[in-house]
Chains A and B, each alone.
Chain A
Amino acid sequence: MTSTAVVYTSNSLVYLIALPLFGAAVLLLAGRRSDRWGHLLATALSAGSFGIGLYQLSQMLGHSNDQRVVTQKLFSWISVGTFNVDAGLTLDQLSICFVLLITGVGTLIHIYSIAYMSHDLDRRRFFAYLNFFIAAMLLLVLGDSYLNLYVGWEGVGLASYLLIGFWNQKPTYATAAKKAFVANRVGDLGLSLAIMITFATMGTVSFAGVQEHVGQASTGALTAIGIMLLIAATGKSAQFPLQAWLGDAMAGPTPVSALIHAATMVTAGVYLIVRSNFIFNAAPAAQLAVAIIGAITLLFGAIIGMAKDDIKKALAASTMSQIGYMVLGAGLGPAGYAFAIMHLLTHGFFKAGMFLGAGSVMHGMDDEVNMRRYGGLRKFMPITFATFGLGYLAIIGVPPFAGFYSKDKIIEIAFNSGGTKGWILGTAALLGAGITAFYMTRVVILTFAGNKRWDEKAHPHESPFLMWAPMVLLAIGSVASGFLFTHGNSLRNWLAPVVEPQLVHQSELLSPAVVSILALLLVLVGVGIAVVKYLRREVPEVAPENVSVFTKIARRDLLQDDFNEAVFMRPGQALTRALVTADNAVVDGAVRGVGRLTVGTGNALRETQTGFVRSYALWILIGAVGLIAAIWVVAQ
């Protein structure tokens, strides 16, 4: 929003959120009565929201690029002294991308879930949660201040918690849900601190206000805000060091993994960073921290992805890694924001498609998730194989599929960010591309190629139309979106008013062509190793135990849980136990001690009351003599 920007107001933005929220409320309040039609209502409302999103897009396209911001103020939410926050919504070029991704992919996943969850007794509740998630996520991207964003931010966290723990009768699933919520709360702590610092520094928490005053703030304060926002992003987007919850989050039903833990919610951190571009641009140290976290996570996730046998956990590790790319892109400043968002959108298509594919495979294989128990499924599930395969080509970055455009750009910009930093970040990103190729090839081979390794009892079959249709649509997105976004720099120009990309060309370390060739070479190497290792050789049905220590560590998620348990959980539990004991023994002990002291003193004094008249008389005499002596001494 530059100073010349014209801002329109609209009364229809709120319906984007209101429709799915209404659906969630109806389904939860109506209870079992809505079992028969609840899922249809939820899907229709989600689609309705998508329709409003498309309408808004058409409206925006009708204006020139600096006049596309639409706002709506609903009411004054919190107003105390100078702390004024409106319940207000803003739709700009950045948020419309998310609105369409959320409602579009969201609606497809609603449709998919109708079939996927058809045998579940609690399907209605599932759809209620899904609708709630859509509403919260839309609030996250539409809120016009950090505090409004925060409401959506925790709202999606709650939806995620409820959906991960959807089958919470299983204790491990309930634990996974709790773990996700707590890890997210650590991130939320960062967000709330960021808001506090922002208010203390600039006296406002709205995006527009902060952007206006950002020039007057000290670099120290902005760096602090930036780091806090980054902590928030690491929690929500499963970035290092708060990444441990995402693997366990796969306990949720697969459509949830596709929607929340791949396409939308986990990318909220990237949204936050890109939305706060004005802060990070003015705080280079924080921006560098973002890039470093992104680079670490993209390798971290990729390495875990190589070792996972659970198809969903392999995809989850891949998600973590791909979001690492986005965060890296966002950490590269104005040159990278647009490509971070582009990768986010293309990833939304191909990863959601692959997750739905994984769901389809599980659906046909009696909920088996171990890829070592799959094999040769392409004959039985041709559509799933085709759509999954297209997503696969997109993620490893084969031209002209979507990932090629978005990922290669991030690698290129990383290299060109200058100096040693550029070399390190670029190399990490390039290396990640190779590893991605390896582990994704491994997933495809283990699942669809080779010999069958499943029980005779399993009867793999293609999924019903309602399930494969969304997969096909997402596959089309995986194929075409990259080209569409890049063609004529369309997405970059579209986002320009929000993120102000530096169109000045930087000094080129490596030209785009060189980067593409290098990346493709590494991809080929990765694919080749995977083919040799898993297609040419027999795959054992049980994971071999005599593997290198590195594989073992990777299978244990690079010891992330062991670390958290050793550093936070066990000391925390010990501290809790110690405090409980201390509270009883010391604090309450002191209180009880005073009580006992009083009673004890009374008992001791009672002993002087012998009941014998003569002892009383003696005491009286002593007292009288003492009194007279005292008077006498004083009178002297």
Chain B
Amino acid sequence: MIKNIGWLTTLGLLPLLGALVIAALSPKSVAAAKRIAFGTTLAVAATAIAMAVKFQIDNVDFQFVEVHSWIPSFGINYAVGVDGIALVLILLSVLLAPVVVLAGWNESHGGRWSAKTFYILLLVLETMMIGVFSATDVFLFYVFFEAMLVPVYFLIGGYGTGKRSAAAVKFLIYSLFGGLLMLAAIIGLYVLSGKQGGHTFDINALSHLKMSSTTENFLFLGFFIAFAIKAPLWPFHTWLPDAAESATPGTSVLLLGVLDKVGTFGMIRYCLTLFPHATRTFTPVILVLAVISIIYGAFLAIGQTDFKRLIAFTSISHFGFITMGIFAMTTQGNSGATLYMFNHGFSTAALFLVAGWMASRRGSSKIADFGGLQRVTPMMAWAFFIAGMSSLALPGLSSFVSEFLVLVGTYTRYPVAAVVGSFGIVLASLYVLIPVQRALHGPTTPGNESLPDLNLREKFAIAPVLAVIIFLGFYPSPLLKVINPAAAHTIAQVGFTDPAPRIAQVGK
């Protein structure tokens, strides 16, 4: 039926193919499963980079578009395509996947099920991630959005530590609740589109719908709450620390680094473009929530005693920044937020992977159990330190560019939010330096004397991540060039233009 398979479909099918190969292996061939999984993720990453090279930067329409009829009676299509924002997030997903496989080479051991299952789940998840970012049909997006929960649920519940079952159930139910609201809103859109020239789920067509402001507000909220849970935004955040604490480090990287981005990505792609008026109505409330997230997440991070929970709370603070940038409605804010999503993925990956190695060596992820690691394991300490510096947005590292763009972009339109939010940068220094001091500095505490330093595999896993963090800190242009047109297009769609400098306003 499908004669020519496009780039995005190929990209999505590759991991599935890998999963099928692994499924055909005998249960005992663990090593082969790992190698195939790693090879598959590498191949996907290479394909994605090849695709990104062909991306036309100046074109603001969706590219690599494929449309095939799926359920014609409801107007549902298999429709995929990417703009700059989606492309960057797909790149993030496919680049992190091989890192996660390599870094967590032994994560699948000791799980409830076999290592084979672990890698099958991981690869299926990769397909879902690619799908969710490239879908241009709202129904297709919804399917990926919900189906993505399944592999994550099993990854947390089957291979995690501690209260993994409870955490997995909390994650699943919380996300499903949001998904349900979104489903209701999608059905609402569908009904509206039926009244205005034919049922469709096409995002471009839906963005031209006319609706009363009440309807628009309700539909907006349906989408927004789902995304706010996913992102997560205060006060919908409490599933994240539990999930991150229980999941394996690799799963946590994908969870915090990629899956949560679906929330912020959804805000840009669906909330902003489908409901521009409601966006304007709710912006003040959302900015308040975003600023609360920044400050609240930072304070909570300072108060944590467990590395994994700490990193989860830092992410809540960072997602506050991203949301603030999105709803600042300036190109700087929007581009900065998208770049922030990419950079946060890498810096959190670095933090979580190193914290995971520390925890697996020490048998505990309590900060108090560590001490003086810089003497014992200098490489690991350096990796953690650089990742931490990236988390606190040190200039010269990638997060700085995005965080500053978000702040500048927000300030030009909403100065108060930007000023209050920027207190997060002071708190960030505390939540990074306090664990650095406790775990890396000071005398080596009992139980840490003979921890081994990073091995070759771990060095190969972390080095590219840190290299990306440093490189993009000095030269973010390649990504910004891809993001800028899409961000500007989004802002224009909502009907905003960047505020002119105040001196120019006086001139008028």
Check B429 against A185 for contact (C-beta < 8 Å): yes
- Among residues of A, the one whose C-beta sits closest to the C-beta of B301 is A576
Check B404 against A168 for contact (C-beta < 8 Å): no
Cα separation A394 to B480 with both chains bound (whole Å): 52
Check B422 against A193 for contact (C-beta < 8 Å): yes
Check B480 against A78 for contact (C-beta < 8 Å): yes
Check B418 against A196 for contact (C-beta < 8 Å): yes
Which residues from A are CB-within-8-Å of B452? Answer: none
Cα separation A213 to B500 with both chains bound (whole Å): 14
Partner of B442 from A80, A82, A168 at Cβ < 8 Å? A168
Check B238 against A81 for contact (C-beta < 8 Å): no
Which residues from B are CB-within-8-Å of A158? Answer: 389, 394
Check A174 against B442 for contact (C-beta < 8 Å): yes
Q: How many A-B residue pairs have CB under 8 A?
A: 168
Type the 1/0 row for B432-444, where 1 means its CB is closer than 8 Å to any CB of A. Answer: 0110110011111
- Among residues of A, the one whose C-beta sits closest to the C-beta of B404 is A192
- B426 CB-CB contact with A under 8 Å: yes
Which residues from A are CB-within-8-Å of B330? Answer: 81
- Which of A78, A189, A577, A595 has the most chain B CB atoms inside 10 A of its CB? A78
Which residues from A are CB-within-8-Å of B477? Answer: 75-77, 79
Check A203 against B504 for contact (C-beta < 8 Å): yes
**Taking the nearest CB of chain A, how far is it from the CB of B71, in angstroms?**
33
Which residues from A are CB-within-8-Å of B266? Answer: none
Cα separation A76 to B478 with both chains bound (whole Å): 11
**Taking the nearest CB of chain A, how far is it from the CB of B203, in angstroms?**
24
Which residues from B are CB-within-8-Å of A591? Answer: 170, 174, 238-239
Q: A192-B404, A200-B415 are in contact. Are A576 and B395 (CB under 8 A)?
A: no
Q: A76-B477, A188-B425, A575-B299 are in contact. Are A200 and B395 (CB under 8 A)?
A: no
**Taking the nearest CB of chain B, how far is it from the CB of A571, in angstroms?**
12
Check A155 against B395 for contact (C-beta < 8 Å): yes
CB within 8 Å of A: which of B350-382? Answer: 372, 374-375
- Among residues of B, the one whose C-beta sits closest to the C-beta of A583 is B300
- Among residues of A, the one whose C-beta sits closest to the C-beta of B174 is A591
Type the 1/0 row for B172-186, where 1 means its CB is closer than 8 Å to any CB of A. Answer: 011000000000000
B contact face: mostly helix, strand, loop, or mixed: helix
CB within 8 Å of A: which of B405-442? Answer: 405, 407-409, 411-412, 415, 418-419, 422-423, 425-426, 428-430, 433-434, 436-437, 440-442
**Taking the nearest CB of chain B, how far is it from the CB of A317, in angstroms?**
25
**Taking the nearest CB of chain A, how far is it from the CB of B402, in angstroms?**
10
Check B299 against A576 for contact (C-beta < 8 Å): yes
**Taking the nearest CB of chain B, how far is it from the CB of A509, in angstroms?**
37
Which of B25-33, B102-110, B331-339 lies on the face that meets chain A? B331-339
Check B442 against A81 for contact (C-beta < 8 Å): no
Check A80 against B419 for contact (C-beta < 8 Å): no
Check B442 against A579 for contact (C-beta < 8 Å): no
Q: A83-B332, A185-B429 are in contact. Are A196 and B395 (CB under 8 A)?
A: no
Check B296 against A178 for contact (C-beta < 8 Å): no
Partner of A168 from B374, B394, B422, B476 at Cβ < 8 Å? B374
Partner of A199 from B296, B412, B442 at Cβ < 8 Å? B412
Which residues from B are CB-within-8-Å of A218? Answer: 502, 506
Partner of A217 from B296, B299, B502 at Cβ < 8 Å? B502
Check A154 against B395 for contact (C-beta < 8 Å): yes
Check B299 against A579 for contact (C-beta < 8 Å): yes
A-B contact pairs, 29 of them (CB 8 A): A77-B475, A79-B484, A80-B335, A80-B405, A80-B484, A81-B335, A82-B498, A158-B394, A168-B437, A171-B441, A178-B437, A181-B429, A182-B426, A182-B429, A185-B426, A189-B425, A192-B422, A193-B419, A196-B412, A196-B422, A199-B501, A200-B412, A200-B501, A203-B503, A587-B235, A587-B237, A588-B238, A591-B170, A591-B174
Q: A196-B415, A577-B303, A595-B173 are in contact. List 19 more A-B contacts (CB 8 A).
A: A78-B404, A78-B480, A80-B409, A81-B335, A83-B409, A151-B396, A155-B395, A175-B437, A189-B423, A192-B425, A196-B418, A200-B412, A202-B502, A213-B503, A579-B296, A579-B300, A580-B300, A591-B170, A591-B239
